[in-house]
Structures are given as C-alpha cells and as structure tokens.
Structure 1
Amino acid sequence: MAWHIFIPDSLLEETSDPKIRTYKVGQIGRAAAIFGVEHVWIYKAGGKDGKFIKLILEYMETPQYLRKSLIPLTKELRYVGVLPPLRTPHHKLKGRPKLGEIREGIVIRKGKRLYADIGLDELALVEGSGEGRMTFKIVSLKPLKVVPSKPEEYWGYRVHLTRKSLAKTLKKAKLNLAIATSRKGEDVRKVNLPPLEGEVGFVFGSPRKGIMEILRDFNEDYPFDLILNTIPNQKTKTVRTEEAVLATLAIFNFIRRD
C-alpha cells in the first residue's frame, strides 16, 4: 500500500509573509513524513505557488548532507530554518559506516570511476552504474564500497507538480481508492470504510475553496470513493489545509494494515 496526498497550488493564498509561507508548507511535509506518505501531488487550483511548495517539500525530504549539492540556495529558501526536521530513516546522521547499511547518496565521477557521497567522512566507491541521487547499500568498509540498492523501510516522499487540474491529476495518479475531505462530507465515524489497499489518495481543498468548488471552477467532476468529514464537530469556523492533512492521516493511521 502507498499513500498519496493531494494539495492545491493555492495552499498559501491567505498569507504573503515568506516565513509563514515556508512554515505552512513545512507542516505538510512533516505530516507526510510522520504517517509515511509516499507521494505528494500539487494540483492546479488557480494559485501561483506550486513551484515554491514543491521546492520547500523537496528541500525537507532531501538528507541534509545532500542539500548543498542538489538544491541551490535561493531567496525562496531563506527561511528554511523554521522547517521542522523530518528525522525519517533516510536522514542519516554522520556516525561510522556499518556493513549492510542503506544510505542516500549522490554519484560523483572521478575519471573512469564512480564514487558516492553518502554523508560520511570519505567518498564510497560505487560498484555498478548510475547518476545523480541514488540509494546505496554499504558492502565493504575497507575500502568503503557501495552498490545501488532499494530501501526496506519508509524512505521519504516524492513530490509531483503536475500543473494539471484536480481531476486530471487524480487520473494521472491511478489510485485504487480516492478519498475527498470536506466539512460537508459524511462523518468519518459513521462510515463503513473499505479496506485500505493499493494506491490510496487523500484529497484536500484550499484555504478559500473546498474540493467540489475547485472541481466546478474547472468544469470537472470526479468519482470519489468516499467524501468524508474527518474533523466532525469542529469548533473553529475553518480548518487550515495543513491541519486537515494532519488530522486526516492520523485517523487513517489507526486502521491501516501493512
């Protein structure tokens, strides 16, 4: 099973403060990491912040020792100090290398040989081929050698900026179960939920518009499997998108079985 969340490019339409904007996106990234979301989709909803949202989310997901190489420092990143660390399994501390350890790295070519920066004091010789950012397994300590590998645990999320409307983005994701969140939806406590299997998507609206209104703006419809109110009896007039993401994923985390 893989979890997907869908957020609008208008997520930040209610604030112009760059520090608050950065922090709000950070709350989305932190919630995604806490509950093991593997895909974050940014869909077109009339906003102008898709690229910024993607940049901040990718910056958070990238291990600290790779950020300088993979993400050039720009003015959009000047407030990244307010972002909470993810502390996911692929955000390794420096420490000593361990045989069999899985680490993220970036491939560096030196002459005819390939090396990988995996966040240690020395580069590791790569046995195999590849380029850019990759996942490696340490197979030798002296000398330090790695081979391309696949992680066996949660390894962060991927960010997709589709520049497509919500319905088209959902179709692109090829979900097995699509769940829309709405204050007008069915009370999540009273619904017989289907098994959470395959590709499961949770869809969220913007600060000013709900999912159905966003769909109508683009003359679209989508056959959601469920439309749920995941914060029944809310005592505030509105619930922010980042709050809805955290609350919704927390509820479904109780019932996921994988």
Structure 2
Amino acid sequence: MTTRVLVPSSLAREAEDKREATRKLGYVARAATIFRADRLIVFPDREGETGKLDGGFVRTVLRYATTPPHLRKEIWGKRDELEYVGVLPPLRAPSQTGSESDDSGSKRHGIVTEVGPDQRVRVNCGLQHPISLNVPSEMALEQGERVTVRISSRRPVRAKIVGKPTQGLSIEQTDLSAALSREDAGVRIAASRFGEALTVGKLETLAGRIERDGLTVAFGAPERGLPAILGIDADTVRTDGVARLDAADDTDVEPNGDPGFDLWLNTVPNQGSDVVRTEEALFATLASLTLRA
C-alpha cells in the first residue's frame, strides 16, 4: 500500500519563532515516518505563508529531517533555515540508519565524496573519516550518490559497498491538483473538521479500497484549513463535499473548487480542544486510515 501525505507550504505559519517551527516540522516528518508514508508532498499556499517560515523553509527542514544523521553535515553544511535542527525528534527509520546494530556485519548508509581511478571511491558512512572502497562491477557511482555499506570490522576498518539505500520517505513539491490527479493517487482524502465524521462503519468501507489502491491524504495549515486554502465555503463542503466510497457508488461529489478529492473526512470528530494542530491531525488520521482491512 502506498501512502502520500500532502501538507501546505504555510504549515509553520503560526509558529512564534524558527525554533518552534522546526520542532513542529520534525513531528510532521515523524508522523509520516511512523505510518510508513512513501511521500511527504509540500503544495503551495503562498497566501498563508508568513515571513521567513515559508515553503522554502518548510521543504528544507523536512528534507534535512529525512536525511541520515551521519550524512547531514556532508549534504547540508550550514544554512540559515537549519539553525535549530537540534530540536528535531529522531526518525530512526531503517531507510535512514541501515541496520540497527553497530556490530560486525551491520549496514550503514553512506555518501560518495570522491570518485577515484580503478573503480574506487571514498565514502562518508559515519565513521571517523571517509573510507576508500571498491565499487562493485555492476555499479557506476558519481560524487554525491548514496550507497549502502556493510561494515564487517571497525578496528581495523573492513567494509564493502553492497548496493543503493532502500528508498524511504521522500520530500517533494508539487501543486495540490497535480498530486491528486496522478493515476496512482489511490483514495484521495481531504482531512477537515468540516468533512464527514469518521466512524467504524466508514473505516470498514474505506480500508479495503485504501489497501488495494493506496492513499493520498491532504491537510490544511494552522488557522487555515483546506476550505480556506482552496477558496471553498465550509458549508459547501458539509453539503456537497462527501463522496460515497462503497461498493455501490464510487462517484466523486465535489464542492465547487475542489481539485479532485474522493472524500472530505473529519478524522477527529469528537475533538476536545478547539484546535487540532496539523501534526496532531497527521497522527490521528494516519493511525486510522492505515489500518488493514
């Protein structure tokens, strides 16, 4: 099952400062990682962006968060957007870390820092210094490419390149309508407090289709939900924005201005707080919608 999460470029609009915004984005990345999302896509909401906490900041911090920790300095260096990345929660995804063990035979992700003669490259894989390794005959590597390294001994260092890293959560940028119009978008859901309340019965209807076709779910920004971003009246969503995704009726019923959702869904129908933050909505929504039928 493929899962794509769509968030607006205005995601950090309510943060008081860059530190708070960075922490918020870290938990967005963590929610997407925990529930095995394949892509975290940032779509433009320029009207909702504020100051320096714009789409560029959002994308940079998210991409940094999904970079293996031991490669971050090599890839990113020092950037103004990354001033407070020390507050980011660790993702601990296998696509970041390789194998969990540091024992003999463990795998590490590395980045090629130099290409030399005779099929040899230097690789930074989180050891004290980059190490020189042979390139497997079936591979061709360039500077900056990522590889998986198997370490059989640390003292002395013995290691070899065994392939390319498994693809984990990727951070992308595209228009909302383009993301929803992909052939492999699967079930396209707008998470909104104005949508149909999620119930056990509705989840039973959805689960089979999501498992079969995949899931694309979009979220709004603080104090600026999807209706506001799309210029849709909330009352229109309530009356016209609910599609019936059951075996008898797969027809989309879209409010005016909807870029192509199958369903507007309220995944926290009994919220006890006046405000559910976007990162909180991600956890609540993905925990329900990624359940298997």
Deviation at 1:57, TM superposition (A): 1.1
Q: Which amino acid aligns with 1:248?
A: T
Q: Find the counterpart in structure 2 of residue 72 from structure 1.
A: 77
Structure 2 gap segments, 5+ residues each: 233-255
Q: Find the counterpart in structure 2 of residue 138 from structure 1.
A: 150
**What is the correspondence of 1:1-258 to structure 2 with a 5 Å cutoff?**
1-46=1-46, 47-48=48-49, 49-89=54-94, 90-92=96-98, 95-98=102-105, 101-112=106-117, 113-121=120-128, 123=131, 124-127=133-136, 128-131=139-142, 132-136=144-148, 138=150, 143-149=158-164, 151=166, 155-162=167-174, 164=175, 166-171=176-181, 174-189=184-199, 190-191=201-202, 192-193=205-206, 194-196=208-210, 197-216=212-231, 220-253=257-290, 255-256=291-292
Aligned mates of 2:74, 2:57 — CA distance in 1: 19
Q: Assess, with a 3 A threshold, how the Cα gap between structure 1 residues 23 and 173 changes in structure 2: closer, same or farther.
A: farther
Deviation at 1:168, TM superposition (A): 3.0
Q: Assess, with a 3 A threshold, how the Cα gap between structure 1 residues 120 and 215 changes in structure 2: closer, same or farther.
A: same
Q: Assess, with a 3 A threshold, how the Cα gap between structure 1 residues 198 and 148 changes in structure 2: closer, same or farther.
A: farther
Structure 1 gap segments, 5+ residues each: none
Aligned mates of 1:94, 1:226 — CA distance in 2: 43
Report SS of the residue matched to 1:144.
strand
Aligned mates of 1:199, 1:62 — CA distance in 2: 25
Q: Find the counterpart in structure 1 of residue 243 from structure 2.
A: none
CA contact (8 A) 1:51 1:161 kept: no
Deviation at 1:235, TM superposition (A): 1.5
Q: Which amino acid aligns with 2:91?
A: L
Question: What's the TM-score, normalizing by structure 1?
Answer: 0.85
Q: Percent identity?
A: 36
Number of residue pairs aligned between Structure 1 and Structure 2 = 248
Q: Which amino acid aligns with 2:127?
A: L
User: Which portions of structure 1, spanning 4 or more consecutive aligned residues, are displaced by more than 4 angstroms?
Assistant: 139-143
Q: Assess, with a 3 A threshold, how the Cα gap between structure 1 residues 167 and 61 changes in structure 2: closer, same or farther.
A: same
Q: Which amino acid aligns with 1:167?
A: S
Greater relative contact order (CA < 8 Å, ≥ 6 in sequence): 1
Question: What's the TM-score, normalizing by structure 2?
Answer: 0.76
Aligned mates of 1:223, 1:161 — CA distance in 2: 18
Name which one, 1 or 2, has greater alpha-carbon Rg: 2
Aligned mates of 2:172, 2:215 — CA distance in 1: 16
Q: Which amino acid aligns with 2:15?
A: T
CA contact (8 A) 2:180 2:261 kept: no
1:38-72 superposed Cα distances (whole Å, 9 cap, x missing partner): 10000011244111111111111111110111012
